[in-house]
Structures are given as C-alpha cells and as structure tokens.
Amino acid sequence: MRISLSLLEVPNQSGRLSSMEGLRAYAAGVVFLLHVALLAPPELRDTFAVQWLAYGHHGVDIFFLLSGYLIAGMVRKSDFRYWSYLGHRVARIYPALLAMLLLCSLGLFVLRGEVISPLRFVQNVFLLNGIFPLNIKPIDYVTWSVFFEFAFYAVFPLLYRALGLRWALLAALVIIACVYDFDSRYSRFAMFLFGVWLRFHPERTLRIPTPVVIALYLAFTTLTIGVHYEMPTWAYVAGFGVVSYLLVDNTLHASGALSRLFTWRPLRLIGNISYSFYLLHPTALLIARMLIAPLHLEGWSWLLALAVIGFALSMAMASVSFVLLERPYFLLRKNASRSTADRSGTALGGATSAEG
C-alpha cells in the first residue's frame, strides 16, 4: 500500500524553519556515508573518496549546533518552564530511541547470536554509554550523541536562567574544560554553544557571500582529511565550529543558494525523519551487508551496493518509525496548542522549530 508523503510532514509547520530540516538531512546523510566508508574493503580505505566520506562525523557536530540554536530559542521565552520543557524532550526523543534499542537487541541476537544483558540494556536506555570513562558497550554505536544532547538539554537552561547568557556560556566552557581531561571528545559540547550564540546574536554575524561560505566549508573539511584524528579535538571543534556556524547562519538567515537548496522538499522530508534515520541506519547497514553477501561483489561494486541498499532500508525504516513513533508527538503538541489557543482566544503556534 502506498504511503502518502504527507505523512512525513510535521503536522504543524508553524514556527519551523524549512531550511533547518534540509540541514538535518545533510547532517544525517554525511553520518550515513561515514559509516558506509568505515565498512569499505581494505583495498579502498586509503583512497581519497573513502577518506573524504569517512570525515562525515562532522554531521553530528552540525546536529549539535542546530540543537543549541533551537534550545536557545526555547529557554529565552518568558513562559519557559524547566520541568515541562524537559518532559517534552523526553517525550520527543525516547519513543524512537526505545524502539531502536529493542530492534537492535533483537537484530544482534538473530544475526550474530549476541544476547544483550538486562543491565546493559538499562545502561543504554539511560544513555550511560555516552559517559565514556564508564566504558559501557553501546547497543547502537550512535547513541553517545543522544547523551550529549540530553546533557545539554538538562544543564544549559539552568545555567542560562541562573546566570544570563554571557555567564552561562562562560560557565559552560569551564565545565567543558573540566570534563575534557576525562575524554577529549567532550570538547564537542562546544558546538552547542555556537548554536546558542547564533540564536541570540544573528545580527552580529559577519554576512559573508554564499560562495565564500561554501568555499571555506569545503576547504576546511577537505584540508583536514587524514589529519583530523591527529589534531587536538579542541582545535578541530574550534575550526569546524566557525565554518559550520557560517554555513548554518547563511542557510537560516540569508536567501541565497544554500537556503534554496536546503528548503528543497526531498531534503526537507528527509530532515523531518532524520532522527529516526540517524538511530536506525546502523541496523539498516547491518542488514544490507547480509543481503549483498550472496552477490559476491568486490571493491567499489560492493561499497556502492552497500550504500544504495543501506540508504533505501534506512529511509524505509525511518519513515515507519517517524509515522508510528514521532508523528504522534507532533500531533499531540498541535492539539495541545490548539486547545490552549481556544481557551485563551489567541492564535498560538503549535510545535515550534525547537520541537524538531
């Protein structure tokens, strides 16, 4: 039965930035290509194409910057309520996350005979695998970033409400510096702060022509291929933070080529389901590897087949997940907003862009 593409639309578009959905699609896409590249046959791993694709971890950093931008827009509202906000974050994130953990656990058992212990499952439910010094084995290796998201969701509003913007940002940098000693990857929390600053001070950003922004972005991501793992993590975060800040600012606040590209409907629809896509694509790639095994492909043919079949499976699984597990949240938010508007006599918006 054909499923209408309208089911992949967020039920209430009020307040949403269409170009942001396109950016999410890009971020999810480069992470997908990263994990395809990491599965490349040994004879391809040193090629420039695979090395360039393997740089796709920066897609996660774009997600972080966008989250910082969105959450900053929520916490600055006069009617912000911390516990209500946190409850909405849990309701938004956890249905798809729990379903993914169950699916991955089942898949690991069926495909590899690996049994997930109750303790390990609970640890992953609470995202403790994102606390790297604990050395907790993830069920799905992408969920460390969801821990980063929740840590930011929980801590930044408290800092902002208590200290104001500038002191909150300074306090956040001090916290990042402290946890950096435990694991350098925690410096990537700074990407959220780039997004926060952009949301509060878009007018202070130097307006750079779109071609220059694209050139700077491509130059950084190309020139650091093969050396970014050897760079101090803080240096990578600082450099990529600047170029991605310019990219996101140009996309959201200008009307040039980037804005037009990222509002293209196919990209926007992928962006709508990007959270489920991000969670489920590792499982899709695992299934794709098994499907192409009987074909006895080698080299580029094998990698291309993996990418095409893996992407198709990821899209199919993410679409189902969005319709069943994410869209109901947006419908509830839409109905709640409509009910509030009816009671107050005002035309309040529904799910804001921050609810993405």
CA nearest to 80, candidates 162, 149, 17, 21 = 162
Mean pLDDT of the chain: 87
Residue 350 has pLDDT above 80, yes or no: no
Distance of alpha carbon 50 from its chain centroid, rounded? 22
What is the rounded CA–CA span in Å between residue 302 and residue 17?
38
| Token pair of 230 as six digits | 């050897």
| Token pair of 184 as six digits | 């350098």
Is the Cα torsion angle 35, 28, 214, 307 positive or negative in sign? positive
* 48-52, 104-108, 121-125, 186-190, range with the lowest pLDDT: 48-52
C-alpha dist (Å) from residue 19 to 92, 254, 264, 266:
21, 10, 8, 12
For the chain, give every domain's residue range: 5-355
Q: Read off the pLDDT of residues 122-132 as tens digits, 9 standing for 90 and up.
A: 999 999 999 99
What is the rounded CA–CA span in Å between residue 233 and residue 304?
31
Q: Read off the pLDDT of residues 268-322 as tens digits, 9 standing for 90 and up.
A: 999 999 999 999 999 999 999 999 999 989 999 999 999 999 999 999 999 999 9
Q: Per-residue pLDDT averaged across 212-230, rounded?
A: 80
Q: Read off the pLDDT of residues 227-273 as tens digits, 9 standing for 90 and up.
A: 666 677 788 888 889 999 999 999 998 878 898 999 999 999 999 99
Residue 85 has pLDDT above 80, yes or no: yes
How much is the pTM? Answer: 0.90
What percentage of the chain has pLDDT greater than the value 70? 89
